[in-house]
Amino acid sequence: MSNENPPASVSSVESESGFATEIAAEPTAEIAPEYSVEAGVESSVELPAEAPDEPPAESFADMLAQFEHTHSHRAEGGDKRLEGIVVSLDAESVYLDIGYKSEGILPRSAFENNADAVAAGHKFPVSVKGRNAERYYELSRHKVVQPTDWSSLEEAFTQKTPVVGIVTAVVKGGLTVDVGVRAFMPASRSGTRDAAELEKLVGQEITCRITKLDVTDEDVVVDRRVISEELARAQEQDRYSEMKEGDLVHGAVRSFATYGAFVDLGGIDGLLHVSDISWSRINTPEDVLTIGQELQLKVLKIDAENRRVSLGLKQLEPEKWDFAAEKYKVGQRITGTVTRLMDFGAFVEMEPGIEGLIHVSEMSWVKKIHKPSDILKQGDTVEAVVLSVKQEERRIALGLKQALGDPWIEAPKKFPVGSAIEGPVTRLMNFGAFVQLAEGVEGLVHVSEITAERRINHPQDMLRVGQIVKAQVLAIDQEKRQIKLSMKQLVPTSIKEYLEEHNVNDVVSGRVVEQPAEGAIVELGEGIRATCRIAANTPEAAKKESPSGLDLSALSSMLNARWKGGAPAAGSQPEPLSVGQIRSFRIVKLDHETEKIELKLV
């Protein structure tokens, strides 16, 4: 036989895919007669000598494993978007079921707050990037592609699809990245802060986006930072969608503002308003909180559109006002601290979260308080009485003066009707004058009760503030806190009383009622009359002595003196009396036996 045909048992070919395909050693029909092991006859065909130390042929399973490892960077799912269901977590990774025979894996850093809130059963959209050495599918929370040529790069650029690349080197201004072709990534778009962090990226697989693509010049620019920002926004949106009002969340105080504190909730910020920190009133958040402090909070409101979350801390404690009506009763004495002073009153903290108001009108029985700071200051400890409780409106009215004792309680006993009082005038009004009877108790003398001698239009015609007066109690209304007084009722009604209360040289007022020949009759009070003699050198006496009944020269000189100087001329006499005049007189004689009073014109 001819030796032209090579022995098929030792021949092999290399497939295009890289598999070493072994040719079976089974003899063909042509060579079977010439070489048979069973016959034990040596063929005339010489077999080539066996290569020394030739490795044994690999099995198909080994070669398939090698192929999968070599091509692990190729995404089995391509750019297909999958839904992954969390099955377990460990210290570094999160494992998800993506519907394949093997599970997918994501680093915990791919989730907000290092996946602290992630639990088995949670679902996330993912993309497959490839398989790692442990045979897990490497996942991304972005839709990613693995470019293989310029057309796939153009498609990813047009659709703004993230791509996977390997950082190959640090160059001036940034990094070079292998995304199927050599691409450049500016340092500012790498997501790192300094050169040391750039160096750490070399050799790592990253997800980025093509921001510039020029096929002609083979110029490709990629951006990693935009992917991180989009992921952060997606995580933030997921966080907003996961949260709902009423949820309890954990966070750390990040910063302060005058109106509250910002709390990091793991990727998003929430606002803890100063009014929601404590039931007690606080001025600034720094009074009770510190930066980095861990808090458990209640979600009060979510505005996902404007990315705002309102949080509450005090809401985790019982509402003190729910029990205010049971705890505080009208008439109860309390002790509290003045927290704020306003124009209309002072707020007093009765307990943390409960404040009462002492209105300015409830601060003193004695004097009119114009502003609380006249008698109180912030931080004062005061004793007050509960006047009213309105639980629904969260209002408690307090009285400061009531705690000192109500002087009106004893007023009817101390000032019975008909009794005489003496006190200073405190206020003058158009309708009368207020007179202080005792500390916290005032009575009113109506303008018609001031004097019986004449009709007056205003109390100031006869009285002034601070003047000590005597009056009689006419009536008392304890409920309305009103006492009616009269000054004219104490004016003596008999000549004997008048004589007992006055002395010679007292100056009194009286009204001229008659003018007989010897002088004038003056009424000093109801039923009390006195005589006033006219001196011989007065105009009045001249008038009576003059034959014509009038001394014109004396009267003329008196009038001229008044008009020119505004005062009587030297040696001039008082103005002549006339019926109806009210003039001042000096008592020159009091005769108790004859009950006569003589006066002299002042």
H/E/C letters for each residue in 100-151? CCCCEEEEHHHCHHHHCCCCCCCEEEEEEEEECCCCCEEEECCCCECCCCHH
Which tokens belong to 220?
């490709």
Q: Which residues contact 168 (CB under 8 A, 6 or more apart)?
A: 175, 176, 177, 178, 182, 202, 203
Kindly state the percentage of the chain with pLDDT values over 90: 28
Q: Which residue has the tokens 């004589």?
A: 499
Q: Which amino acid is at 450?
A: I
Q: Which residue has the tokens 């404007």?
A: 306
| Helices and strands: H and E segment counts in the chain | 9, 32
| Residue at a domain's end among 439, 456, 490 | 490
Structure confidence by residue, pLDDT tens digits, 37-94: 333 333 333 444 444 444 444 454 454 444 444 444 444 444 466 889 999 999 889 9
Residue 348 clears pLDDT 90, i.e. is over it: yes
Residue 385 clears pLDDT 90, i.e. is over it: yes
CATH at residue 351: 2.40.50.140
Split at pLDDT 50, 70, 90, the class of 33 is very low
In a domain, 589, yes or no: yes
Cα–Cα dist 91/132, whole Å: 18
Q: Which residues contact 440 (CB under 8 A, 6 or more apart)?
A: 364, 365, 366, 401, 406, 407, 408
In a domain, 220, yes or no: yes
In a domain, 272, yes or no: yes
Lowest model confidence (mean pLDDT) among 244-258, 383-397, 556-570: 556-570
pLDDT, residue 51, reads: 41
Cα–Cα dist 74/53, whole Å: 36
Cα–Cα dist 113/566, whole Å: 98
Cα–Cα dist 602/507, whole Å: 8
Say yes or no: 302 and 219 in one domain.
Answer: no
Say yes or no: 343 and 367 in one domain.
Answer: yes
Say yes or no: 437 and 484 in one domain.
Answer: yes
Residue 579 clears pLDDT 90, i.e. is over it: no
Residue 222 clears pLDDT 90, i.e. is over it: yes
First and final CA of the chain: distance in angstroms? Answer: 180
Say yes or no: 285 and 308 in one domain.
Answer: yes
Say yes or no: 397 and 411 in one domain.
Answer: no
* Sign of the dihedral defined by the CA atoms of residues 93, 95, 98, 103, in that order: positive
In a domain, 71, yes or no: no
Nearest-10 Cα torsion for 405, 407, 409, 411? 170
Cα–Cα dist 483/441, whole Å: 9
Residue 458 clears pLDDT 60, i.e. is over it: yes
Say yes or no: 249 and 188 in one domain.
Answer: no
pLDDT, residue 493, reads: 59
In a domain, 72, yes or no: no
Number of domains in the chain: 7
| Residue at a domain's end among 316, 351, 372 | 316
Q: Across residues 541-548, what is the average pLDDT?
A: 46
pLDDT, residue 262, reads: 93
Distances (CA, A) of 201 to 112, 182, 224, 602: 22, 16, 11, 116
Which tokens belong to 30?
């042509």
SS3 51: coil
SS3 8: helix
Q: Across residues 338-359, what is the average pLDDT?
A: 91
Q: How many residues does the chain have?
A: 602
In a domain, 289, yes or no: yes
Say yes or no: 297 and 247 in one domain.
Answer: yes
pLDDT, residue 540, reads: 52
Could you tell me which residues are beta bridge partners of residue 522?
512, 530
Q: Which residues contact 77 (CB under 8 A, 6 or more apart)?
A: 98, 127, 128, 137
SS3 314: helix
pLDDT, residue 210, reads: 92
In a domain, 63, yes or no: no
- Helix (H), strand (E) at residue 513: strand 507-514
Say yes or no: 118 and 158 in one domain.
Answer: no
Cα–Cα dist 517/135, whole Å: 144
pLDDT, residue 9, reads: 37
Could you tell me which residues are beta bridge partners of residue 12?
22
In a domain, 61, yes or no: no
Q: For residue 165, what are the domain limits? A: 150-230
Bigger pLDDT: 71 vs 534:
534
**Average pLDDT of every residue of the chain:** 78
pLDDT, residue 58, reads: 47
| Residue at a domain's end among 140, 168, 189 | 140
Say yes or no: 453 and 534 in one domain.
Answer: no
Say yes or no: 194 and 291 in one domain.
Answer: no
Say yes or no: 226 and 208 in one domain.
Answer: yes
Say yes or no: 361 and 312 in one domain.
Answer: no
